[in-house]
Structure formats: structure tokens, C-alpha cells
Amino acid sequence: MSTAVLIAAVVGGGVLLLMRRLFPRRKAVKLLQYPTDTMRGKTVIVTGANSGIGKALAGELLKLRARVIMACRDLRSAEDVAQDLRSQAGPEQGEVVIKHLDLASLRSVRNFCEEINKEEPKIDVLVNNAGIYQCPYTKTEDGFEMQFGVNHLGHFLLTHLLLDLLKASSPSRIVVVSSKLYKYGHINFDDLNSEGNYDKAFCYSQSKLANLLFTLKLAHQLEGTAVTVNALTPGMVRTRLGRHVQIPLLAKPLFHLASLVFLKSPLEGAQTPLYLACSPEVEGVSGKCFANCEEEELMAKATDKQAAKKLWDISRRMVGLAE
């Protein structure tokens, strides 16, 4: 018993030390307050709206009377979450619509967009939120490395297939959820599917850098329209995104406690995407990245126009959009 306690104490102390090094002095996040009818009459698509930041964002939008389309892979989970969100939103709330979307399948993305384009008269905001983090090496239905396929290519095709409706609905907004971990990646144009060597941490960072380069190029493409696109880095948030990360059994309780102290809640993490979806302060702003509801300065590799164009052209071919 004493040995187990000693091991737990050592492991737990190490976890706490690591958390303090990674996430020092977390500041309290001020929750945004908007008039309750801010999003009345507006339709917002949120991918991955059944958990984490997406769920919290959908709940806030519902309170602001938006028509929220939850685009989710797991419909049963989405139904449960939608019921929960409705019960929390109060008597004066918007509408929740659930639609199936599997970003690991280009066929599913095309089916979703076909349904949206047929049934929805307009889209005011598209939030590309869903993602996968440091999963074991697997491929999407179309043969892409899973993190690059879901985090970048799936949303790349989704956005392209909804652009005409977004333009017809202008002024409209596109919000792209990236991550500060983009700093540790680069675009490996020689092996985008990581078939030669798979480093799950690098592949996540690569996909998040791809989000930023996509935002940069798309903003340029949308110049002269009333459609804006901005990215954001939410910071470290307590979500299920890290479910594939292996944590020693004895350290799990201590890691959970530490996360409550050092990591943002999903609601706190949802403040910047909510800001980009709702705030009049960013009306007409495009091609930027935000953190904590303020513009963020990016590293040079995230503002490389040549790399953004190259990735754009390759991505179009990969998802079948190139002529």
C-alpha cells in the first residue's frame, strides 16, 4: 500500500509540475454578454457541436435565438446534447437542427452540403470546429491521414461546397478553429498523409497550421464579397479532444484535478468563436487570427502566402475540386 501511495505521489507531483510549466497563471476568462436577440433570424452551422467547445458554443448561440445546425458524426450523442441545450437555454431560445456529418468521409461532406443547399435559404455563420487530436495512425474513408483529413480536408471541402450559399446570404462569416500547437508543425508537402513516418503530435500541428493557411488564402479569395473568414486559437480547454492521449492510470485523478485548475472550461473556450460569430466589432474583418477575443500575431509560417497557395491547390485536387 505504501509503495503504491509513494508512486502515486511521485507521478502526481510530476503531472502537477508539468501542468504548471505548460499552463502557468491561467487568467479568469470574462464571459461575453450580448442582447438576447442578437442572433435572431440567423442560421449558424457548428461542426462537432455535440461536445467540448462546439457544444458550449451551440448552447450560447441558442440562448441568443439563433437557428443552430449541429453538424455531427454521432447522431445519438447529438440528440442527447440537443435536448440538454434546449433545457438550459430558457423559454426564449432559438432552434436546434441536427444533421449528420462525418468529416472523415468526403461522400458524407458532399451529402451534407447537398442537403443544406437544398433545404436552407441562407447560412449566416459557418463554424469549422470539429477536430481529432493525436489519434493512432488511421486513414479516412478516402485514404487520407486521419488528422489531416478531418481537421483540414473535410472542412476545406465543406466550406467550398457552401460558399455559394454563404455569398448569397452575405454579410456572412466563416470561423475556423485552429490551435496554438500549429507552432510545432510545418506542411510536409512531400508526404501529407504521413505514410513514410507518423508522428501523431506533428500531424496534429500540421493540420492546425493548414487551418491557418486555408484561412489566409480563403480571405484573399473572398475579397470583394461580404463574406469574411477568421481563425482562432482557443487555448488549452477541458474537452474530449485529448481522449487518445495516454496518461498513466495512477496519474489520471491528479491530472483531472490539475486540469480543473489550469485549463479553460468548454464555455470559456467557446468565447472567442462566439465573439467571431456574433460581435459587431469584427464586422468586415477578414483573414485574421484571434485568441481571447483579440487579434493574435502569428508566426511567419502561418502567413506564408506561397505555402498557402500551394496547399490550396493540392487540397483542391485531393478533395476532387480541381478541374
Catalytic residues, which ones?
A: 204
Show the cell assigned to 51.
Answer: 461536445
Show the cell assigned to 258.
Answer: 490539475
Q: Are 231 and 290 in contact (CB under 8 A)?
A: yes
Question: Strand 289-291 vs strand 43-47: parallel, antiparallel, or unpaired?
Answer: unpaired
Cα angle 279, 124, 32; round to 5:
25
Annotate 178-234 with DSSP letters as a single string. Answer: --GGGGG----TT-TT--S---HHHHHHHHHHHHHHHHHHHHHHTTTSSEEEEEE--
Comparing CA positions, the residue from 25, 28, 88 lying closest to residue 56 is: 88
Residues in the chain: 323
Question: 3-class SS at 18?
Answer: helix
Q: Are 153 and 214 in contact (CB under 8 A)?
A: no
Radius of gyration of the chain (CA): 20
Q: How many CA atoms lie within 13 A of 254 on its CB side?
A: 20
**Cβ contacts of 49 within 8 Å, gap of 6 or more:** 55, 57, 58, 68, 70, 71, 72, 78, 81, 129
